[in-house]
């Protein structure tokens, strides 16, 4: 160790670094040879002793050569590359693009981030944002380096050194120009956010270094700079990590540094710390019912995937992992099964993503062989057996899933009666989704690019969901939301009951509307799924909304239903018009002055009638018909809506609904296509099994 070495706590531990460690060298990595060889290696390892000895003599050329030889001997490419491969982000590929085609495109300097391609005829500008409307994610995700995984996969298939050369040129261009921040928080900068640092270390960087390790293009000097940058990643992840799903990705990256690079001075400390944090975060971030606290079907998968990846690497390298992982991850996999729609996909909840469940359970069926239901979902019914239950409640997350069965033609609904979520939230409490007879029928706008566009604002708003706006205003839970006060152990205030004939759920929204967040009106929604139908009618949803104002003023209400396919309105019934496919009829009880309009693709005076499509990137949205029931009333109000799904070829069986506006009343009458009036009662529907908290 050089005489210039001093003790420094700047990085959050007593690290040994030289006095010039905080300099700005103008080109990365920041670590000098003296810093790296003199203070960043585990000199207790036999392979590093000669490196340290050469560094003490200031013979850095020898230190580099010996270090590179040692690293090539300690890394284990065949072991790492045999691990289950994480899927490439679809937003880094062109539509229907093969790995071979993507690799050739990358060699030409054409990169894709967030589904938007951009050519780089010369050096890559890693800070560039070529997108409209401030989509900073393009730059951030560019710096996750999925291209390096693509090049690595193609190199292993072909041995073509063009791919290794392209990788090395990109790496050197990045590491020279994109310097690790010295004291910036983890969420700052577009190139060194800690989420990107974690993803780089947990996915694309280890794939690349193990794939290209034997390439002659990967010289000793390149390998030294690589390991310097890995150490810089480690200390940034240690020092500046954040919370929620970011923390899981950060700790995945930090754990992998600690496992894969044992020659680094803090490898064991980083590894142990990361695994301890990951174990603790399961209880901190996941509801007891297994749903991740952000309540997003996308970030739920992100968290599961990162835990599975850490465990795969730990198992392969003989590192013990916390036993608490297993029961929590099994519960999280079970959530995917419980939420699954009849077509085998997940609903697009909050900043979620609609994706097939089967591939998400690949690791689960290996880890939990006793779960025949997970195997059934993973094999799409070819093996195992469906769950013995049908409908299911996630009472902490507030998701209530109603279904008539597990077949593809089943009638399915999901009601959101829960909390706001820790992040990635939408203002959508009391939202309802419906899937029936193989078709999505009642949907929401979904997720969209994290930019500053009107579409991004729309998808997060109440008006993009199937609930009620008050006085032209959206729900506003965000204004009063205190993330630090969230208790994941507390169940939602919703009430739920399920029997063989009827599912019933009830929840209340009383957290305010508009910019002031005033609670002005209390909205209680009760939803029934009558599974076997009623008399001459098939399975249907009965939705009862009770609106209780705090005052005697006149309030306006917009009752929203986002539909799929062509529809037409007749009176207070809005129904699908195509008999060739399954369709949904929406029939509302009458209120004085109530009108109904169908909006699709509206931009002015505000966005309405849109759905996100594709991978939720910029420009990926399409119009959908949205039925809006407008009503003005003073005092308490009860509105009853029947949502009646019909299988292909069947006529619409519902012609209208009659119900009192008195909130104390529970009677409902449904007019059928045959001219009958069928009488239902909320209390009768509940009599088989009373609602319970």
- CA dist 73 and 79 (Å) reads 13
Average pLDDT, integer, range 458-472:
98
Q: What size, in residues, is the chain?
A: 693
281 and 399 housed in the same domain? no
Average pLDDT, integer, range 119-141:
93
280 and 406 housed in the same domain? no
Predicted local distance difference test score (pLDDT) of residue 16: 37
Predicted local distance difference test score (pLDDT) of residue 25: 53
397 and 281 housed in the same domain? no
If one compares 484 and 428, the residue with the highest pLDDT of the two is 428
Is the model's pLDDT at 225 over the cut of 90? yes
pLDDT tens-place string over residues 319-360: 999 999 999 999 999 999 999 999 999 999 999 989 999 999
Predicted local distance difference test score (pLDDT) of residue 22: 35
**Average pLDDT for the chain:** 93
Please check whether residue 354 lies inside any domain of the structure.
no
Q: 583 has which bridge partners? A: 646
Q: Which tokens belong to 637?
A: 């109000």
pLDDT tens-place string over residues 181-218: 988 898 989 999 999 999 999 999 999 999 999 999 99
Task: Work out the pLDDT band at 586, boundaries 50, 70, 90.
Answer: very high
Predicted local distance difference test score (pLDDT) of residue 2: 31
Average pLDDT, integer, range 535-557:
96
Is the model's pLDDT at 691 over the cut of 60? no
Average pLDDT, integer, range 488-503:
93
Q: 119 has which bridge partners? A: 110
pLDDT tens-place string over residues 253-300: 999 999 999 999 999 999 999 999 999 999 999 999 999 999 999 999
Task: Work out the pLDDT band at 10, boundaries 50, 70, 90.
Answer: very low
pLDDT tens-place string over residues 604-659: 999 999 999 988 889 999 999 999 999 999 999 999 999 999 999 998 899 999 99
Is the model's pLDDT at 7 over the cut of 50? no
Please check whether residue 316 lies inside any domain of the structure.
no
Structure pTM? Answer: 0.93
Domain end (from 257, 285, 313):
285
Are 501 and 531 within 8 A, CB to CB? yes
Predicted local distance difference test score (pLDDT) of residue 415: 98
Average pLDDT, integer, range 165-174:
98
Range of the domain at 251: 5-285
Least reliable range by pLDDT among 85-94, 188-197, 538-547, 605-614: 85-94
Average pLDDT, integer, range 546-571:
96
Predicted local distance difference test score (pLDDT) of residue 578: 83
Q: Whose CA is closest to 31, among 251, 233, 267?
A: 233
412 and 281 housed in the same domain? no
Predicted local distance difference test score (pLDDT) of residue 143: 98
Please check whether residue 324 lies inside any domain of the structure.
no
Are 241 and 194 within 8 A, CB to CB? yes
Number of domains in the chain: 2
73 and 198 housed in the same domain? yes
Supply φ then ψ for residue 8, to 5 degrees: -140, 125
Predicted local distance difference test score (pLDDT) of residue 19: 32
Please check whether residue 367 lies inside any domain of the structure.
no
Beta strands 432-436 and 411-416, pairing class: antiparallel
Q: What is the CATH number of the domain that holds 492?
A: 2.70.98.70
3-state secondary structure 564-617: CCCEEEECCEEEECCCCCCEEEEEEECCCCCEEEEECCECCCCCECEEECCCCC
Average pLDDT, integer, range 132-158:
95
Please check whether residue 402 lies inside any domain of the structure.
yes
| Omega within 30 of 0 (cis) for the link into 605 | yes
Is the model's pLDDT at 682 over the cut of 60? yes
Please check whether residue 386 lies inside any domain of the structure.
no
Task: Work out the pLDDT band at 14, boundaries 50, 70, 90.
Answer: very low
Please check whether residue 333 lies inside any domain of the structure.
no
Predicted local distance difference test score (pLDDT) of residue 91: 93
pLDDT tens-place string over residues 304-319: 999 999 999 999 999 9
Q: What is the CATH number of the domain that holds 273?
A: 1.50.10.100
Predicted local distance difference test score (pLDDT) of residue 692: 41
Supply φ then ψ for residue 197, to 5 degrees: -60, -40
Domain end (from 220, 251, 285):
285
Q: Rounded to an integer, what is the distance from CA 567 to the centroid of its chain?
A: 31
Domain end (from 285, 303, 323):
285
Predicted local distance difference test score (pLDDT) of residue 688: 61
- CA dist 491 and 479 (Å) reads 22
Task: Work out the pLDDT band at 480, boundaries 50, 70, 90.
Answer: confident
Please check whether residue 490 lies inside any domain of the structure.
yes
Interior/surface letters 257-280, b for 16+ CB within 10 angstroms, e for the rest: bbbbbbbbbbbeebbebbbebbbe
pLDDT tens-place string over residues 507-518: 999 999 998 877
């Amino acid at each position: 160790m050089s005489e210039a070495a001093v003790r420094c706590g700047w990085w959050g531990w007593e690290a040994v670094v030289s006095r010039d460690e905080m300099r700005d060298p103008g080109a990365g990595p920041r670590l000098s040879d003296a810093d790296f060889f003199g203070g960043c290696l585990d000199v207790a390892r036999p392979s590093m002793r000669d490196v340290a000895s050469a560094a003490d003599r200031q013979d850095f050329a020898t230190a580099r050569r010996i270090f590179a030889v040692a690293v090539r001997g300690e890394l284990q490419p065949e072991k790492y590359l045999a691990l289950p491969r994480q899927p490439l982000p679809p937003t880094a590929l062109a539509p229907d693009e093969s790995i071979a085609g993507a690799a050739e495109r990358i060699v030409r300097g054409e990169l894709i981030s967030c589904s938007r391609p951009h050519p780089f005829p010369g050096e890559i500008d890693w800070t560039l944002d070529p997108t409209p409307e401030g989509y900073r994610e393009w730059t951030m995700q560019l710096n996750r380096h999925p291209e390096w995984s693509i090049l690595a996969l193609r190199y292993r298939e072909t041995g073509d050194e063009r791919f290794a050369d392209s990788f090395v040129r990109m790496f050197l261009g990045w590491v020279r120009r994109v310097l690790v921040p010295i004291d910036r928080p983890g969420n700052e900068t577009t190139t060194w956010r800690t989420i990107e640092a974690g993803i780089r270390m947990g996915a694309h960087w280890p794939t690349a270094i193990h794939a290209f390790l034997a390439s002659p293009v990967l010289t000793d000097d390149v390998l030294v700079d690589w390991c310097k940058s890995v150490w810089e990643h480690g200390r940034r992840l240690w020092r500046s990590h954040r919370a929620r799903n970011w923390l899981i990705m950060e700790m995945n990256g930090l754990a992998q540094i600690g496992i894969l690079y044992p020659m680094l001075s803090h490898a064991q400390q980083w590894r142990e710390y990361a695994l301890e944090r990951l174990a603790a975060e399961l209880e901190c971030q996941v509801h007891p019912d297994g749903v991740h606290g952000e309540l997003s079907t996308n970030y739920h998968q992100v968290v599961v995937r990162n835990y599975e990846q850490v465990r795969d690497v730990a198992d392969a390298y003989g590192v013990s992992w916390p036993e608490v992982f297993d029961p929590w991850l099994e519960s999280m996999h079970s959530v995917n099964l419980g939420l699954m729609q009849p077509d085998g996909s997940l609903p697009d909840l909050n900043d979620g993503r609609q994706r097939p469940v089967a591939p998400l359970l690949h690791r689960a069926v290996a880890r939990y062989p006793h779960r025949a239901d997970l195997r059934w979902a993973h094999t799409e019914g070819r093996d195992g057996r469906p769950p013995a239950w049908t409908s299911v409640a996630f009472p902490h997350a507030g998701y209530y899933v109603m279904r008539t069965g597990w077949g593809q033609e089943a009638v399915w609904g999901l009601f959101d009666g829960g909390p706001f979520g820790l992040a990635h939230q939408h203002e959508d409490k009391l939202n309802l989704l419906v899937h029936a007879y193989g078709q999505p029928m009642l949907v929401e706008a979904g997720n969209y690019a994290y930019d500053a566009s009107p579409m991004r604002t729309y998808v997060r708003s109440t008006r993009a969901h199937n609930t009620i706006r008050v006085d032209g205003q959206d729900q506003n839970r965000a204004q009063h939301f205190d993330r630090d006060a969230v208790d994941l152990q507390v169940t939602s205030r919703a009430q739920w009951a399920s029997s063989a004939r009827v599912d019933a759920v009830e929840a209340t929204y009383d957290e305010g509307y508009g910019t002031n967040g005033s609670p002005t009106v209390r909205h209680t929604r009760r939803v029934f799924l009558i599974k076997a139908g009623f008399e001459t009618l098939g399975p249907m949803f009965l939705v009862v909304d009770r609106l209780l104002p705090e005052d005697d003023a006149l309030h306006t209400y917009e009752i929203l239903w986002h539909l799929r396919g062509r529809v037409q309105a007749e009176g207070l019934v809005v129904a699908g018009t195509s008999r060739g496919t399954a369709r949904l009829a929406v029939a509302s009880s009458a209120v004085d002055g109530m009108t109904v309009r169908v909006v699709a693709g509206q931009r002015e005076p505000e966005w309405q009638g849109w759905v996100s499509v594709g991978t939720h990137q910029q420009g990926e949205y399409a119009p959908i018909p949205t039925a809006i029931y407008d009503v003005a009333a003073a005092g308490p109000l009860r509105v009853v809506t029947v949502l009646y799904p019909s299988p292909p070829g069947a006529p619409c069986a519902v012609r209208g609904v009659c119900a009192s506006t008195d909130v104390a009343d529970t009677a409902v009458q449904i007019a059928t296509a045959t001219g009958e009036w069928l009488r239902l009662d909320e209390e009768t529907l509940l009599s088989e099994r009373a609602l319970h908290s």
